[in-house]
Structure 1
């Protein structure tokens, strides 16, 4: 079996990033989401390496072994996409295929939009590209969903990380199960005065794709850095909107692929249906039956097949 190795790499943004990597060949950069880390790509790292690619999964800014600055303002989309571009350079590649899941997807879309010269292709999982809106997003979310929408509540200092960090093993079990294809789903509108774990019940048993050993890895990876850095990504939604005015409704021109589970509550069918309006070289949309939000972990074989089919077209 192909070995996954680990090291630290410093990109042009000055952040020393932990990366897991496997294989040699054209670079495929794998960007995880919340609350995850490099480990969410464990099945893809080895499969891509075996197919002749250099697969690299960093812990993104604020996460796990990478950690990050204390200032919440240092977690904007310009910082996170700059980290990705810096990794492409630091890893000795001229260009890469950039793959992102959950929060990693907006980073992948942004890199492809802002620096198409660095991108051979882009793959978004779970979160389709959404063009920049006319109003700041938190205001829009409050208007449509109210003050208890989870992204709005994540704007609060201290309380969300206190909830998630109280029992990390329970946090990972409950969130990963609830929004999977095997789970009951997690309500995105939180009860007044309650947190996200209150709508993510403790599973009676873990689904087949997730083991207690997997949970233990996530707990260990988060032991030093915790949840504040990851939550700071949400706390920059309005700042991201302000900073990206120059790319307002700009197209994403590299070849693209989108993958999502048909039980994923996050993507939104309207945004997926309109994806080609702003991603003109969209080469496919893959819907995974009975799959929830954790696409590459829930359906590794199908995701690997779709990735390799796309890579071989480039």
Structure 2
């Protein structure tokens, strides 16, 4: 079982779960999750001889949740990873991320390859920096109601997601695109009557309690820096991610419908060891825990 503690990272409090001893493997969660989304990976990775650490990222769970929106830029998020490696007494780590955590993992490998021994991304591929701010492009292609654009609104998304946290988490984690969408983020999703096999009521209760305590403002602020991140990363235009890399995705992951795969990803990641498709959706390390753990271990053995 993972153990829990809080540590100071560059003056901030970070809650983490950890298990095992050996080379450091960081597991970075996405939206709207926490360390708990990696619950199935601790035991197999620790048993294979790794120190497995999954933090609650900035704005999430029991970690610090700065109020200002501008405290959630990609520079802050990458800095958190580098600072955590240092705070754990290491100089490098294998960095694995899912969803937003994958974006942070890819960007950390891009900006600080000296700290990233290898990188694995789940669901979200490395995305080349485009010629225009991303939110304008998203609005053009997907409309003003696209969730990333909707999340830019002040207060309204917080109010929607916080109104009934248990329903929010059930809808986000198990829902699929609605045939007749209603206004708001949750209105665009339809929710099955029963939970899927991979998510029990106890699991749902853990996520629900975490977000009842922490709220959604911090996580939403990650989205509110999307265009700012585009401005801040101009110096890395056309740069490549050089550490050994792995990409995993669920075959029915909705992210595959609006992010670039294939040739753009391979051009950006020259040492891409494998791309692995697994039957499942967006929450792949929870939906297919044994297969994800096996893929990560195979990748780690190659290093």
1:277 and 2:275 matched: no
Equivalent of 1:230 in 219, 231, 239: 219
Q: Specify the alignment match of 2:19 in structure 1.
A: 22
Q: CA deviation at 1:270?
A: 6.9
Contact in 2 for aligned 1:145/1:189 (Cα 8 Å): no
Q: CA deviation at 1:267?
A: 3.1
Provide the C-alpha distance between the structure 1 equivalents of 2:248 and 2:191, rounded to a whole number of angstroms: 27
Contact in 1 for aligned 2:92/2:117 (Cα 8 Å): yes
Matched residue SS, 2:39: helix
1:163 and 2:160 matched: yes
Task: Figure out how many residues of one structure are paired with residues of the other and give that number.
Answer: 302
Provide the C-alpha distance between the structure 2 equivalents of 1:94 and 1:198, rounded to a whole number of angstroms: 45
Which 4+ stretches in 1 moved above 6 angstroms? Answer: none
Q: CA deviation at 1:187?
A: 5.5
Equivalent of 1:92 in 84, 89, 92: 89
Equivalent of 2:6 in 1, 5, 8: 8
Unaligned runs of 5+ in 1: 179-184
Q: Specify the alignment match of 1:287 in structure 2.
A: 277
1:48 and 2:45 matched: yes
Contact in 1 for aligned 2:18/2:42 (Cα 8 Å): yes
Contact in 1 for aligned 2:181/2:189 (Cα 8 Å): no
Matched residue SS, 1:122: strand
| 1:175-228 deviation per Cα after TM superposition (whole angstroms, max 9, x unaligned) | 1112xxxxxx2269964xx11211222321000000110011011212221001
Matched residue SS, 2:121: strand
Provide the C-alpha distance between the structure 2 equivalents of 1:276 and 1:59, rounded to a whole number of angstroms: 30
Q: Specify the alignment match of 1:240 in structure 2.
A: 229
1:209 and 2:198 matched: yes
What TM-score do you get using the length of structure 1 for normalisation? 0.93
Correspondence 1:104-123 to 2 at 5 A: 104-123=101-120
Unaligned runs of 5+ in 2: none
Matched residue SS, 2:191: coil
Matched residue SS, 2:94: strand
Q: Specify the alignment match of 1:145 in structure 2.
A: 142
Matched residue SS, 2:108: helix
Q: Specify the alignment match of 1:297 in structure 2.
A: 286
